[in-house]
Structure 1
Amino acid sequence: MGSDPLGGSGHAGFIGSQPQYDSTRGIPPRDRHPEGVDQQFGLPLQIVTESGSSTGFFQNASHFTVENSTLIDKSSQNMHIVNNLQQGKTVLEILYQEMTKGADIDSFARWPPPKCYPGTRTRLTAEIQTWLLRGVRKWDFLWLSGPAGVGKSAVAQTVAEFALGEGILGAVYFFSRPNGRYKYIEVFITLAYQLAIRFPGYQAIITAELAAEPGLLEKAPHIQFRRLIIEPLLLLSHERKRVIVLDGLDECGGEGAQVEIIELINNIVNSNTSFPIIWVVCSRPEPHLKRIFARPDHIVRCWREFLHIESEESRRDTETFIRGRFKEIHDQYRECVEEDSNGCWPPETATKKIIEKSSGLFVLADVLLKYIADSEICDPDLRLGEVLAFLEYSRLTGSQRPMHGLDLFYTRILSDIPSDHWATVRQILISSTFHSNEYSSLAVQPICNLLHITRARFYVVMQRLHSVIDIPNPSNAADTPLTFFHASFLDYLTDPSRAGKFFIGRLVSGHGITVATGLRDFMLPALRCLGSTVGLAAIDIDRGDMKDDREISKLLREAFSWPPADNYAAWSSALNTAGPIFSSLFGLLCILFEQCELDDELLLVLHHFDFNAFTFIHYDYQWDFPLQHLHKLVNLIPYWLCI
């Protein structure tokens, strides 16, 4: 028999086919432990009845061999079933029947699996490998997160393959909702099957466990975790630690299931440092996961690593990937491509264009290169030309769709948004692009005020977009802008041929957008406050009987005529004596609009105003929209009134 408790070749304590068994224990003398524990598996060697007495098979018998048998010992109303190797195979069949297919490291359903391209993610993978092999580590739990398409699954596969090569891989689960690998009830059964396949020692323990309670696989997942994972592995806690990798956790069941998995892992990691499992969990930065990892009890013994798209390392790695793949395509289709005088392909300008467009997003680079290298077409030059034309003009060329794979990727993300949330999400996305320079946009609170929605409503409807948009925490809602992780998402949203029903509108000259409710409601209270400050009290901005749009327009024209003929002296005097107050008030209003939820009582001032009579923005007006300078709201008024 082998000496590795997780990797032994036999089933000590279970009747097999060759060894002669000692009658007092039922095991070979060389495997006996003075405290009655099997050296190979850490299993109790005595069967203890409810009365506390010890018994064994064939007491007082000696010098015999039992082969291919099931032994049942009935003592004090307890039945203990001991399975031989043949029954162990049956248990594997039971696990296989209930587990998720295609979730393993080498499953054909995932073939070829994503993994780190040579020369990419070298720093991160080296750090993880060192961490896995270290005898004593600060953490036994790694959470690797990052935006959609940044390459988390490739890192997970690479780490799992490394662990397999080192003989320390316990199990993996690659979640995929579209491919049916997402059911929470199957997760721990799948891990148990893989552990049993890789380590017969664990298989022996789990065989006895399932024989004692065949209905265990129908228990709730947290009970399965305890009975299939924790309790069996605690018997092996004196051995070298093994690695379990969970990739794509955000695609497992519902949010509650995902949170429970993290809690179960965290509880065992924090309560038992000798537990023989190192956990690697990869996911998108979904808000419910960020919340649980931000809790104080989830910081202890947890290493958190975030993969940034726009980091120098990511950009460098995508360039390495693109140049390497172009070389492979060149080697494969050398006779089909137009080389330059030096025998090089493609032109450096083309390579740089794709590197620039990919900008750290591996999924985009991969989609474009797969399109160019399509083996059904076998014409890389043609496909490269189509890709470059698309990138240059942001439109499809004929019937070809270079971005089809990326479009499916983004469409799938948006499809998870509840239908009753989409209208508000669309308004938020449109609002966030008013000041967008491809990535950055308005902060959360100004957007809420523009759309007249509560901050809570904003975070509810945006729950499903944390993988493509960096959404700040509520504590930073006033001053941290929304940020698109990659410009390709905005390109997708503003192209109707790509986004389909998720098209939000092309932001070009001549397109009008209805004024946002919050800004409309905010304007007159702001004017009332400003008017009283600079001595325009004679203008009755607080009139509650204003119902006519023309009356509102006349009032605003009076307030902002320059100079007001009938009140010039008051205006001039106020400007001379209250300039600092005037400036401070602008700042105060800016803070009010950007950092505070607008009070309904304040907004009711304009309750009778017909807001549909006005239009907010025409892009041929070329009005930028940074609310840091609120006077732009005032400068817009004359244009607003004449449309």
Structure 2
Amino acid sequence: MASILNNAQNTNIHGGTFIINDKKGTAPSLDVLYKRVASNAILNAGGRADEVRCHPGTRKEVISRIEKWRDAPEGLTTSVFWLSGPFGAGKSAIVQTIAERCNEQGAPQANFFFFRTDISRNSVSPLVATLLHQVILLYPSVRETVATVLSANPLIFDCLLEEQLAQLIVVPLRAVQKSSASYRPLVLLIDGLDECDSDSKAGQQRILRAFDNVLVKQRHGVCLFRLLVASRVEPQISMSFKRLSTPFLPLYLNDDYSPETDIRLFITDEFKKVKSTHLLAYTLDETWPSVEDIDGIVEKSSGQFIYAATVMRFISNSSASPMLSLGKVQGVSESAGTSSPFSQLDAIYTYILSRADDQQALKDIFHAHSYSTNIKPQDPFIATHS
């Protein structure tokens, strides 16, 4: 240990407190990074509540289009892909499937899944840190580069988003690209952009603007990363995409991508699981469920996987006979309340409707619709928002 009295002679010291700091230039710490990472936002990091990957055999055309974009030679594709669709169309399942297929196929990817009700991943602040953490795992050689940047500016995660991307994503990736003879662009997957800062919505626009500015600056150089964004089609997001200087490839999940065929396959396979694994499977005969039963669920799904998934989860997890559970699903009324197997789904749709800009117009539509259907004015959304 070093001493402040090295080579001292004829010295007498009585009392006093002496502190020796023997620090010899330790490597810059990445602690400032890890404090900002949102582990819940990372695929398979243990924080995501549900597995939402695509059911085997479904969404083949959509997945194929995304992977062709991912693998296209530089100059023959855009740097940005926008996957959009209504709530429940299966966007998150597609993004998760793409991420897992990237891992299986050796395509480098980093991901961030926004989620409205999880405070650790419903804002802009942890985005770059979380992506950077995954970049370091992919390319350990950039640790020192990143540590140097963080040491020089420990407050960089409070800087403008564009500055964070430039210093903490572009700089490390450029170092990797220069040291590699066969660099493959990193795929950044951002799911649920519409669930980021859903109250102010400003964060959604900031993210797209920041990525656009960074991509524009590297337009004439080597492509370091490609960006896939999945979201619902909301005015501020659509407008932000239209204002991008970077060309983007849009894909909207509509009927062109045969959702009913995929939903039917999913339902059929799930019923097979019920008939082989449910505790009361022995009470079911070979003719159950009927073609009409499956057709009914497909029709009520209206192209949205979330309805079919909710139905099948209810039937699979219920301790009651699957026949009785299916009967309850078929007979449920729109005003069934919290006892409904769709109570969680109802809550989500109620939230979505409550965010509409013109609430009066929305109420007028619901009241007009109630005269042509069996919906009662006492039903949850109409009653609470009239």
Scaled to the shorter chain, the TM-score interval is 0.7 to 0.9
Superposition deviation, residue 251 in structure 1: 1.3
Q: Report the equivalent of 2:209.
A: 263
Q: Report the equivalent of 2:134.
A: 194
In structure 2, the CA distance between the partners of 1:498 and 1:374, relative to structure 1 (3 Å rule), is farther
Name the CA distance, whole Å, in 2 between partners of 1:161 and 1:312. 21
Corresponding position: 1:215 with 2:146: no
Q: Report the equivalent of 2:12.
A: none
Superposition deviation, residue 123 in structure 1: 0.6
More moved, 224-233 vs 404-413: 224-233
Q: Report the equivalent of 2:362.
A: 425
Work out whether residues 140 and 301 of structure 1, in 8 Å CA contact, stay in contact via their aligned partners in 2: yes
Superposition deviation, residue 502 in structure 1: 4.3
Name the CA distance, whole Å, in 1 between partners of 2:257 and 2:282. 32
Name the CA distance, whole Å, in 2 between partners of 1:395 and 1:159. 38
Work out whether residues 190 and 230 of structure 2, in 8 Å CA contact, stay in contact via their aligned partners in 1: yes
Does the residue aligned with 1:102 lie in a helix, a strand or coil? helix
| Greater RCO, 1 or 2 (C-alpha within 8 Å, sep 6+) | 2
Name the CA distance, whole Å, in 2 between partners of 1:336 and 1:131. 44
In structure 2, the CA distance between the partners of 1:124 and 1:435, relative to structure 1 (3 Å rule), is farther
Amino acid at match of 1:281: V
Does the residue aligned with 1:387 lie in a helix, a strand or coil? helix
| TM superposition score normalised by structure 1 | 0.51
Q: Report the equivalent of 1:120.
A: 58
Match of 1:351 among 264, 280, 294: 294
Name the CA distance, whole Å, in 2 between partners of 1:132 and 1:355. 32
In structure 2, the CA distance between the partners of 1:394 and 1:166, relative to structure 1 (3 Å rule), is same
Match of 2:38 among 100, 112, 127: 100
Superposition deviation, residue 221 in structure 1: 2.6
Q: Report the equivalent of 2:91.
A: 152
Amino acid at match of 2:172: P
Work out whether residues 152 and 282 of structure 1, in 8 Å CA contact, stay in contact via their aligned partners in 2: yes
Name the CA distance, whole Å, in 1 between partners of 2:354 and 2:370. 24
Q: Report the equivalent of 1:283.
A: 231
Q: What's the CA shift string for 1:183-221, capped at 9, x where partnerless?
A: 212211111122122321232211111122222223233
Uncovered stretches (5+) of structure 1, i.e. residues with no partner: 1-68, 73-81, 439-490, 505-643
Work out whether residues 194 and 204 of structure 2, in 8 Å CA contact, stay in contact via their aligned partners in 1: yes
Work out whether residues 236 and 276 of structure 1, in 8 Å CA contact, stay in contact via their aligned partners in 2: no
Q: Report the equivalent of 1:134.
A: 72
Name the CA distance, whole Å, in 1 between partners of 2:88 and 2:137. 32
Q: Report the equivalent of 2:276.
A: 331
Superposition deviation, residue 495 in structure 1: 6.7
Instruction: Indicate the RMSD between aligned Cα atoms, in angstroms.
Output: 2.8
Identity among equivalent pairs (%): 27
Q: What's the CA shift string for 1:104-158, capped at 9, x where partnerless?
A: 0113221432111111100110121232223334112101011111000001101
Corresponding position: 1:370 with 2:313: yes
Q: Report the equivalent of 1:499.
A: 381
Q: Report the equivalent of 1:318.
A: 263
Q: Report the equivalent of 1:225.
A: 165
Superposition deviation, residue 347 in structure 1: 2.1
In structure 2, the CA distance between the partners of 1:213 and 1:362, relative to structure 1 (3 Å rule), is same
Any residues of structure 2 matched to 1:376-395 within 5 Å, and which?
Answer: 377-390=319-332, 394=334
Amino acid at match of 2:381: A
Work out whether residues 234 and 275 of structure 1, in 8 Å CA contact, stay in contact via their aligned partners in 2: no
Amino acid at match of 2:57: G
Work out whether residues 495 and 503 of structure 1, in 8 Å CA contact, stay in contact via their aligned partners in 2: no
Superposition deviation, residue 70 in structure 1: 8.2
Amino acid at match of 2:251: E
Any residues of structure 2 matched to 1:23-102 within 5 Å, and which?
Answer: 83=27, 90-91=29-30, 93-102=31-40
Does the residue aligned with 1:112 lie in a helix, a strand or coil? coil
Q: Report the equivalent of 1:77.
A: none
Corresponding position: 1:242 with 2:124: no
Q: What's the CA shift string for 1:491-540, capped at 9, x where partnerless?
A: 9x867444364466xxxxxxxxxxxxxxxxxxxxxxxxxxxxxxxxxxxx
More moved, 344-353 vs 203-212: 344-353
Work out whether residues 245 and 281 of structure 1, in 8 Å CA contact, stay in contact via their aligned partners in 2: yes
Amino acid at match of 1:107: A
Superposition deviation, residue 270 in structure 1: 3.5
Does the residue aligned with 2:41 lie in a helix, a strand or coil? coil
Name the CA distance, whole Å, in 2 between partners of 1:215 and 1:395. 51
Any residues of structure 2 matched to 1:562-641 within 5 Å, and which?
Answer: none
Superposition deviation, residue 166 in structure 1: 2.6
Radius of gyration: which is bigger? 1
Does the residue aligned with 2:229 lie in a helix, a strand or coil? strand
Work out whether residues 145 and 282 of structure 1, in 8 Å CA contact, stay in contact via their aligned partners in 2: yes
Name the CA distance, whole Å, in 2 between partners of 1:118 and 1:70. 56
Name the CA distance, whole Å, in 2 between partners of 1:242 and 1:503. 46
Superposition deviation, residue 373 in structure 1: 1.2
Work out whether residues 195 and 203 of structure 1, in 8 Å CA contact, stay in contact via their aligned partners in 2: no
Q: Report the equivalent of 1:161.
A: 100
In structure 2, the CA distance between the partners of 1:225 and 1:71, relative to structure 1 (3 Å rule), is farther
Does the residue aligned with 1:184 lie in a helix, a strand or coil? coil
Work out whether residues 171 and 245 of structure 1, in 8 Å CA contact, stay in contact via their aligned partners in 2: yes
In structure 2, the CA distance between the partners of 1:156 and 1:312, relative to structure 1 (3 Å rule), is closer
| TM superposition score normalised by structure 2 | 0.83
Amino acid at match of 1:366: A
Q: Report the equivalent of 1:174.
A: 113
Work out whether residues 338 and 345 of structure 1, in 8 Å CA contact, stay in contact via their aligned partners in 2: no
Q: Tell me how many residue pairs correspond in the alignment.
A: 355
Q: Report the equivalent of 1:411.
A: 350
Name the CA distance, whole Å, in 1 between partners of 2:284 and 2:192. 41
